[in-house]
A and B are shown apart, each in its own frame.
Chain A
Amino acid sequence: MSDTYNNSEGANVDIDGDELIGTLTLPLDSWHRARDGRVVEFAGYWMPVQYNGEGGGIIAEHLWTRTSAGFFDVSHMGQLYISGEGVEAALEAVLPIDLSTLPVGGVRYSLLLNETGGILDDLMVTRWGTGFYLVVNGATKWDDIGTLREALPDNVTLNHLDDTALFALQGPMAAEALEPLVTGEQPLSALTFMRGAAFKLGGIDAWISRSGYTGEDGFEISVPGENAAELADLICAQPQVRPIGLGARDSLRLEAGLPLYGHDMNEDVDPVSADLLFGINKRRRSEGGFPGCDVILPLIASGAPTRRVGLLIDGRMAAREGAKVLNGDVEVGTVTSGGFSPSLERPIAMAFVASELAVSGTSLSIDVRGRKLAATVAPMPFVPHRYHRKGAA
C-alpha cells in the first residue's frame, strides 16, 4: 500500500525542502494528544487530522458536525490587530473592502490581492471599537504580515496576536451548547451571521463571532492561549459537542462550496475566475484604488475565461486535486479540490473549467488514473448553508 497522506503542506521548510525551524506546537497540542487526536504536520504546526476511538474518524466527525456541534481548534490561523491614525483608509488601500458599511462587530470576507490581480490570501475582517481584527490563513500568515506591514503607513500598527488561540464551534446545536457558557452585554443569541462581540466564556475574555467554515450555524471564538485548554474542556464537556479534526473540516467546507486557499485559489488565480467577487465590495468595484484593480475591474466587465464550479461525480471513486476535466476528449479544466461527500454519500469536487461550460447541468468527465468519471456541473453549496441570518427565525 502506498503512503499517500500529504501532511507537509505549509511546513517550515526552505526551497530545498530542509526543515528550518521545526514543526511548531499550538496551545492545545497536548489536549489533542490526550484526546487521541491523530496529529500531523499542517501549515507548520502539529494539528489533529482526526480523532481515534469512538465517535472519531473523518466521516463520523463530519456527520456529527452536520447534526450536532463540532469543536475545531484553528489556532494555526493568523489573528492580527491593525490600528492607528488613518487605519481605515490605509486598510482600504490594501484590501478591496468597503469599511464605510462595516459596523462595530461586523465581520466581512475580503481578499489580499497582488498587483496582477492574483489572490495572496483570503481573510475575515472585523471592526473592533478602535481598529480592525483580521483572521488569515495559517500557511500564508507570515507572508501576509510582511505584505501588510510593507503596505501600511508608519502610523498604522499591525499586532500579531500570536498568544491567542482560535476555536470554531459549528453545527445546528452550536448555539444551545455555547449559550450557557457565556455572559456578555448582549445574549449570545443576539449575534446573527457575520456579527461578533466580546463575551466572557467560563469567566475568561473571549471574542465570539457567528461565522465559520462549514456552512452550518456556529461560532468562531478567540481566547487567550494560556486559557485554551480549560476552555476547550469547558466547551467539549457539553453533551452536544465533540472535537473534530482537520479532515472533516476539509470535507465540510467542500460540501459548503467554500474554497480553500492554496487549492481553489492562489496568487495566479484572479477573484473573477475563482467566483469570489463578493470579496470585492460594490463601492470598490466602481472606485478601484486597491491592488490589482487595473486587471480585475476590466475582467469583471469582460468575464474571465475560466470559472470555479462544483461537480457532482457519478459512482464512488473520488477525483482529487490536479485531475483533468474533459468535455468529450478535450481538456477543459482541472479539479482543485475533491473528495467523498459524507452527507451526499458520493464524490464531489470543485474545478476550474472554461467559462462557456460553467453552467449547471453541463455533462463533463474527469480523468482519474486513466478512468473517465462522469461528472455534472452543479450549483454550490452542495449541501445548503444553514447560517443564522439577521431577520430569519
Chain B
Amino acid sequence: MTRYFTKDHEWIAVEGDEATVGITDYAQGQLGDITFVEVPGVGAEVGKGDAASVVDSVKAASDVYAPVSGTVTVVNDALEDQPELVNTDPEGEGWLWKMTLSDTAELDSLMDEASYQSFISGL
C-alpha cells in the first residue's frame, strides 16, 4: 500500500485501483475540534479536485477535495457518532471514504510522505 498526499492536506492510501482517503494530521491540527463530518454518497463519482466531503470544526467548515478521480465505494459511518476520530486518529480510524480509481496516472501529481513533510515544514 502506498500513501500519497496533496498540497490541500488530504492523504490517499492506494492498493491497486482501490484507495482510502482522509485528511492529514497537520490538517486536523489546523482545524481544531471537529464536530461533524459530511461524507460523500456511496456510488458518487468524484473528479480530481472536487469538493467531496465537508469537515466541520468548532470554528469553520472546510471542504475536503478528492485527491484523484473515481467512484466512492464505502464511507466511514463511525464518523456520524464520533467525528472526533478525525482529530484523534486522522490517518487511521478517522478515514473519510474509500474509492476505486478511474485513472491511476493521476497519482503521479501527488506527493509522497517525505515530500509532504517537507512541504508542511515550510508552511
Stretch of B40-48, B52-60, B70-78, B102-110 contacting A (4+ beta carbons < 8 Å) = B52-60
B5–chain A nearest beta-carbon distance, Å = 11
Closest chain A residue, CB of each to CB of B10 = A1
Q: Tell me whether B62 and A2 are in contact (CB under 8 A).
A: yes
Complex-state Cα separation, A261 to B43, whole angstroms:
44
Closest chain A residue, CB of each to CB of B64 = A1
- Checking B10, B23, B56, B63 against A318 with a beta-carbon cut-off of 8 angstroms, the contacting residue is B56
Q: Tell me whether B58 and A5 are in contact (CB under 8 A).
A: no
A337-349 contact mask (Cβ, 8 Å, vs B): 1 or 0:
0011010000100
Contacts of B8 in A (CB 8 A): 1-2
Tally inter-chain residue pairs, CB-CB below 8 A: 65
Q: A-contacting residues of B (Cβ < 8 Å)? A: 8-10, 23, 27, 30-33, 35-36, 38, 51, 54-56, 58-65, 83
Contacts of A240 in B (CB 8 A): none
Residues of A within 8 Å of B, CB-based: how many?
A: 26
Q: A57-B32, A57-B33, A317-B38 are in contact. Are A251 and B60 (CB under 8 A)?
A: no
Contacts of B55 in A (CB 8 A): 1
Contacts of A320 in B (CB 8 A): 60-61
B80–chain A nearest beta-carbon distance, Å = 8
A200-226 contact mask (Cβ, 8 Å, vs B): 1 or 0:
000000000000000000000000000
B62–chain A nearest beta-carbon distance, Å = 5
- Checking A50, A315, A317 against B32 with a beta-carbon cut-off of 8 angstroms, the contacting residue is A50
Closest chain A residue, CB of each to CB of B30 = A5
Closest chain B residue, CB of each to CB of A342 = B58
Q: Tell me whether A1 and B56 are in contact (CB under 8 A).
A: no
Closest chain B residue, CB of each to CB of A346 = B35
Contacts of B54 in A (CB 8 A): 369
